[in-house]
Structure 1
Amino acid sequence: MSGMRDFWRALPTEGRWLLSTVAIQTLGRGLTLPFTIIYLHEVRGFDLALSGTLMGLIAVVGLIVTGPGGSLIDRFGARQVLIVGLVCMILGCTLLAFATHPAVAAAGLILMGVNFGVSWPGFNALIASVVTGDLRQQYFGINFALLNLGIGVGGIIGGFYVDVAEPQTFTVIFLVDAASSLIPMALLLGPLRRVRTQSEPSAADAEHGGYRQILRRPAVIWVSLLTFVAMFVGYGQMEAGFPAFARQISEVSTRTVGFAFAANTLVIVLFQFAVLKWIAGRRRTRVMWVMTLIWAVSWLLLGATGLVPDTLAAAIGVIAFMGVFAFGETLLQPTVPAVYNDLASDHTRGRYNAINSAAFQGGAIAGPIAAGILLDNDLPAVFIGLMVVCCLGIGVMALALERRITPAVNGVVEAQPAVD
């Protein structure tokens, strides 16, 4: 606890504002995250392949807007861009709450995609502008733990509340998700209204600050490929592949799905700070490699639940999958954003984080579509096998990245020479 108190005291006021409201503002997202594909498929009656494709719309739109969004962040500041994104989120969740036709659902998901496309680079640029030095990696990790706390509590509440036989329960949770976006908007209009993320470009920024120049850097290419695959097997499956597999193959209840997300949150909240202390000063790429082995084991565990469907063992296995997967997340989330932001300058931070977001969204596009196609065609073994192979591929990419970044960017603090 003393380490947490020291961290909190070291934060600037703006950093404290950002961190103190994370869990509350993500509660609404937790209500809907585990149940959106269940809502589209089992409540609104869209077939599983269509539901997976609709879920992919969020990432498609996010990918389209994230590039221009990153440039706008560097030009006008993260605050203004984030406010526009939050308005889109509120409208999108409201539309989705009443979506009885695929076109209405698509419109809602497109608006949500606009927000997701700008929120990742926007909030990361905001964080990096107010938190510097060694605090930054710690901040990303603790922010992730609090984000998952909000999502996990929301998942528990949603698991007990929603009922596929009562569509109005899903309407309520999407409206609550819309209302939760008012919290970050109030922060941006109030305590954070003076935070400035844009800066005057240096000569080096003017020459190397465009997307084309940034993407020519080998380190950026490798970390972006790694992010894409990690999102494909990770968060691209949390909204689609995992809930669909758990319901259709493992045959567990929606309540079990909610408990699985709660287990995910519990592991992250309990272990994230200890993990941060363990990885401090270690090569971030080696930490990523350990994460890939943990994720591979978790997917094999989920696959085993399909051998004993509709049993207590299947329910325990589904929950255990999310717990093991979560431990891997505690290794990934502090490291990848820190690499991107340590590669960036103040003037290019929005664009570097936009590239990170684009890789994230790309994996999230492919994830739900692949899950929908494979599971709709009764290929659960192929689905699990693909996830495991991709996990091992991330480890190979991490080692390639290690050869292309400096020790400082890789999280290694070089010893200072002794002074006589």
Structure 2
Amino acid sequence: MSAVGAGLTLPFLLVYLHDVRGIELGSAGLVLSTIAIAGLVGTPVGGLLSDLFGPRRPAAAGLVLAAAGTAGMVGVRSAWQAALWAAVYGCGVAVTEPSFQALLSTSVSPERRSQIFAVRHALLNVGLSAGSLLAAFLVDFSAPQTFVTIYLVDAGTFLTFAVLVARAPGRGHPVPGYQVRSPGARGGYREILADRVLLRICVSVAVVFTCGYAQYYSAYPIFSIQTGGLDAATLQLTFLANTCTVVLAQLLVLRLVTGRRRALAFALSAALMAVAWLTVVGAAHLGGGPAAVAAFMTAMVLFAIGETLMAPSVPVIVNDLASDVGRGRYNGAYGFSQTLGYIIGPAVAGAALGSGHGSLLFVGLAVALGLVALHATRIDRLLTPTANRMGAGHAR
């Protein structure tokens, strides 16, 4: 439900700021960057608060903050106002994420964590797609009031989410026996990052988000249109292929990998993303036409399968490595590495595409993802069987 609200607003934020509120395009782009930069602060704070007070209250508080940020966008008239509310929104979402990840991981038994994270990933894609589709019918560029409506609806979904989290059964702690860190106890992120396996995972995740997910939203659309010859409608068709694959394949992929090793699923995920980007390079040089469209769609399907392998593996490894007293900070470190990738990725894409090296960019991205895949096989040897087992089966 909350993802429906995000799907309503996020695709139109740049357009809303520039076309409706008259903010210069460069400044509007910086507003979008503010969301990610705020996440660098909010994510570790959310993880620490989760360990101090339990995950429920920080998750609900972050959702309220996010609601305030998206509602504040209704009244912006200048770039600084937009940046302020974007920072509030980004910080709220970032505070929520590690707390909600901790809440999810402890709401089920450890052997079912892969399933719940897989379901979450599928439902996020359903919600974002449904929100984007709904926005296409609601938004009218000649009627600013329609933008006010979707931002207020988005704020309402965040508040509803906050109420559900706060009032769900098990008030206080998500499961009986959940421990929080004593306010007087020592420990911080230095203690958490002393876990070398976690540090290896976080570095790998930062590379995957820099070279994978961030490029899906930044370099891929520009490259496929400018070099590949796709028009806007065909580009949306390739995105639809990605989303439909995630929604339809997520639980099937989970069933296929249940009982196998999570680190190897992570390695295969990075490898598939690498193959997807090499396919994009090949598709861009087919000269357009049906063959190129089919190749671009194939690339997006491969990328989507990589997503379905990552969702039930990496965040679950992180939560299985963590104890209850450090779970929030483990998820905070994981979330920080994701946010870092979303900041670095577009900057790399802009520099490469701006200098006319699009094909070289995607080849380089594929090489980096291939190295992550190789590194994941080394992580595989460092994990305990408990942390490395996918689902309820036995490690293989």
TM over 0.5: yes
What is the aligned counterpart of 2:167 among 185, 190, 199? 190
Which residue does the alignment assign to 1:270?
Answer: 248
Matched, 1:364 2:342: yes
- Once the two structures are superposed, the pairs formed by residues 243-392 of structure 1 within 5 Å of their partners are 243-246=221-224, 249-250=227-228, 252=230, 254-307=232-285, 317-392=295-370
TM-score, normalized by length of structure 1?
A: 0.81
In structure 1, the residue corresponding to 2:44 is in which secondary structure?
Answer: helix
Q: Distance in 1 between matches of 2:151 and 2:337?
A: 27
Residue of structure 1 in register with 2:157 after alignment: 180
Measured after TM superposition, the shift of residue 411 of structure 1 is 1.3
The sequence identity of aligned pairs, in percent, is: 33
Q: What is the deviation of 1:196?
A: 0.7
Shift of 1:342: 0.5
2:60–2:163 contact (8 Å) kept in structure 1: no
Aligned to 1:220: 198
Q: Separation in 1 of the partners of 2:37 and 2:78?
A: 20
Once the two structures are TM-superposed, the CA of residue 29 in structure 1 deviates from its matched residue by 1.5
CA contact 2:62–2:91 (8 Å) conserved in 1: yes
Is 1:153 equivalent to 2:133 in the alignment? Answer: no
Corresponding residue to 1:144 among 111, 121, 126? 121
> CA distance change for structure 1 residues 110 and 257 in 2, over 3 Å: closer, same or farther?
farther
Establish whether residue 242 from structure 1 lines up as the match of residue 224 from structure 2: no
Question: Unpaired segments of 5 or more residues in structure 2?
Answer: none
- Other-structure match for 2:209: 231
Determine the C-alpha separation between the residues in 2 that align with 1:213 and 1:33. Answer: 36
Matched residue type, 2:55: A
Cα distance between partner residues in 2 of 1:98 and 1:398: 46
One-letter amino acid matched to 1:69: G
Give, in whole Å, the separation in 2 of the partners of 1:97 and 1:382: 41
Question: In structure 2, what is the Cα distance between the partners aligned to 1:131 and 1:220?
Answer: 22
Cα distance in structure 2, aligned partners of 1:99 and 1:316: 42
Q: Residues 293 and 250 (structure 1 numbering): CA distance in 2 closer, same or farther, change over 3 Å?
A: same
What whole-Å deviation, never above 9, does each CA across 1:136-179 have from its counterpart, x for those lacking one?
11111111111111112223334566577776665544443323
Which one-letter code corresponds to 1:359 in the other structure? S
Letter in 2 for 1:266: C
Match of 2:37 among 56, 60, 72: 60
Relative to structure 1, the CA distance from residue 100 to residue 62 in structure 2 (aligned partners, 3 Å threshold; closer, same or farther) is same
1:4 matched residue in structure 2: none
Partner of 1:132: 109
Worse-superposed segment, 395-404 or 346-355: 395-404
Contact 2:50 2:99 in 1 (8 A): yes
* Matching residue of 1:113: 90
Q: Name the aligned partner's letter for residue 42 of structure 2.
A: V
- The one-character-per-residue Cα deviations of 1:328-378 (angstroms, maximum 9, x if unpaired) are 100001001110110011111111111111111111111222223333444
Amino acid at match of 1:235: Y
Question: What does residue 179 of structure 2 align with?
Answer: 199
Q: Is the contact made by 1:52 and 1:371 (CA closer than 8 Å) also made in structure 2?
A: no
Q: Cα distance, 1:287 vs. partner?
A: 1.1
Distance in 2 of aligned mates of 1:166 and 1:247: 29
3-state SS, counterpart of residue 364 of structure 2: helix
Unpaired stretches in structure 1, ≥5 consecutive residues: 1-23
Is 2:45 the counterpart of 1:74? no
TM-score (norm 2): 0.85
| Residue identity opposite 1:263 in structure 2 | A
Aligned 8 A contact 2:279 2:299 in 1 = yes
Q: Is the 8 A contact 1:53 1:369 kept in 2?
A: no
Letter paired with 1:59:
A
Distance (Å, rounded) in 2 between the aligned partners of 1:153 and 1:406? 39
Q: Which deviates the most, 302-311 or 228-237? A: 302-311
Output the amino acid matched with 1:26. Answer: A
Q: Which amino acid aligns with 2:47?
A: G
Alpha carbons of structure 1 residues 393 and 33: separation in structure 2 relative to 1, 3 Å = farther
SS at match of 1:181: helix
Instruction: Give the Cα–Cα distance (whole angstroms) in 2 for the partners of residues 100 and 312 of structure 1.
Output: 44
Deviation of 1:125 after TM superposition, in Å, equals 0.9
How far residue 390 of structure 1 moved from its aligned partner, in angstroms, is 2.3
> Aligned equivalents of 2:307 and 2:331: distance in 1?
19
Q: Give the deviation of 1:382 after TM superposition.
A: 3.5
Cα shift at 1:108: 2.8
- Structure 1 residue 39: deviation in Å? 5.4
Name 1:13's counterpart in structure 2.
none
- Taking structure 1 as reference, are residues 383 and 303 closer, same or farther at Cα in structure 2, changes over 3 Å only? same
Q: Give a deviation string over 1:50-88, Cα, whole Å, max 9, x none.
A: 665443322221111222221111111222212221222
Code of the residue aligned with 1:126 in structure 2: it is: L
1:212 CA drift (Å):
1.0
Inter-partner Cα distance in structure 2 for 1:370 and 1:39 = 25
Q: 1:39 to 1:345 in 2, by over 3 A?
A: same
2:192 and 2:99 map into 1 onto residues whose CA distance is 18
Residue 93 of structure 1 contacts residue 175 of structure 1 at CA under 8 Å; is this kept in 2?
A: yes
Aligned to 1:406: 384
Q: What is the alpha-carbon distance in structure 2 between the residues aligned to residue 166 and residue 64 of structure 1?
A: 36
Matched residue pairs, number? 389
